[in-house]
């Protein structure tokens, strides 16, 4: 059985939630088999898969295609898909585009801020995960958010507004640990941190970052659990050498 948004909501205070991104069938299947509770089809695919310099270039067609691929690899994990930049500027567009992602296989969608639009999606019967702090679709200042009292209070109020709107959980990105702790203790829905310290109800990372596959830059909050770019290069070099030396394919890899 698939993990539902309501089940995730009920995990508040009952142990840490593990969440990772996926953009394709094969990766999603591994996530599901590993028992990851939430798999995010993030608009981060724009940078780590499609090679854009910003997430703003990701389209609804991109998100629908990748959401479908991921959902076909999932049996149990909860699949949440990002509504991309420009797809939820008003209530009507938001509800329509959220429905497209659900039809593609998502179990819920994610929005950045915008509580009124978020509520319209929820009123349409679609669960929503909120996202506050550093919100890549609209922010121009890519550094830790909420460091001064005014900014911290604003982010805390956004968390409360999204909870009131009906979000089942919140992403807290790139905010000080103390602020994340305060938000986590204030709201009754799970918080999932990325660069927000240990006190959140769960954690999320971009999988190509975590696996050491994406090497254009490395945020401070990313821990490399593998170094796949080095492993892949080594394998490719070995393959290339065997082809040039006529060692591959050998008899064992040929038909007779």
CA distance 155 to 221: 20
Instruction: Kindly report the pTM of this predicted structure.
Output: 0.97
- In three-state secondary structure terms, 119 is helix
Q: 59-68: per-residue pLDDT in tens? A: 999 999 999 9
Q: 91-116: per-residue pLDDT in tens? A: 999 999 999 999 999 999 999 999 99
Q: 111-161: per-residue pLDDT in tens? A: 999 999 999 999 999 999 999 999 999 988 889 999 999 999 999 999 999
Domains of the chain, start order: 5-225 (3.20.20.60), 228-256 (no CATH)
Q: Give the distance from CA 144 to its chain's centroid.
A: 18
Active site residues: 173
Joined tokens for residue 21: 């991104």
Does the N-terminal peptide bond of residue 249 adopt cis geometry, omega within 30 degrees of 0? yes
């Amino acid at each position: 059985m698939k993990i539902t948004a309501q089940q995730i909501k009920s995990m508040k205070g009952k142990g840490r939630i593990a969440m990772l991104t996926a953009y394709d069938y094969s990766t999603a299947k591994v996530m599901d088999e590993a028992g990851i509770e939430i798999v995010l089809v993030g608009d981060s695919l724009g940078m780590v898969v499609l090679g854009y310099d910003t997430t703003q270039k990701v389209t609804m067609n991109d998100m629908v295609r990748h959401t479908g691929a991921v959902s076909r690899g999932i049996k149990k994990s909860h699949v949440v898909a990002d509504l991309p930049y420009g797809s939820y500027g008003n209530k009507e567009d938001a509800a329509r585009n959220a429905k497209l992602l659900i039809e593609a296989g998502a179990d819920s969608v994610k929005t950045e801020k915008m509580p009124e639009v978020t509520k319209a999606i929820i009123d349409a019967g679609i669960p929503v995960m909120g996202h506050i702090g550093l919100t890549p679709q609209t922010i121009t200042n890519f550094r830790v958010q909420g460091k001064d009292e005014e900014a911290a209070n604003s982010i805390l109020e956004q968390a409360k507004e999204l909870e009131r709107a009906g979000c089942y959980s919140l992403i807290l990105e790139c905010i000080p640990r103390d602020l994340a702790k305060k938000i986590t203790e204030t709201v009754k829905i799970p918080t999932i941190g990325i660069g927000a310290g240990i006190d959140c109800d769960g954690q999320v990372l971009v999988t190509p970052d975590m696996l050491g596959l994406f090497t254009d830059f490395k945020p401070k909050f990313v821990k490399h659990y593998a170094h796949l770019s080095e492993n892949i290069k080594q394998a490719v070099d070995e393959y290339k050498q065997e082809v040039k030396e006529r060692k591959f394919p050998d008899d064992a890899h040929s038909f007779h």
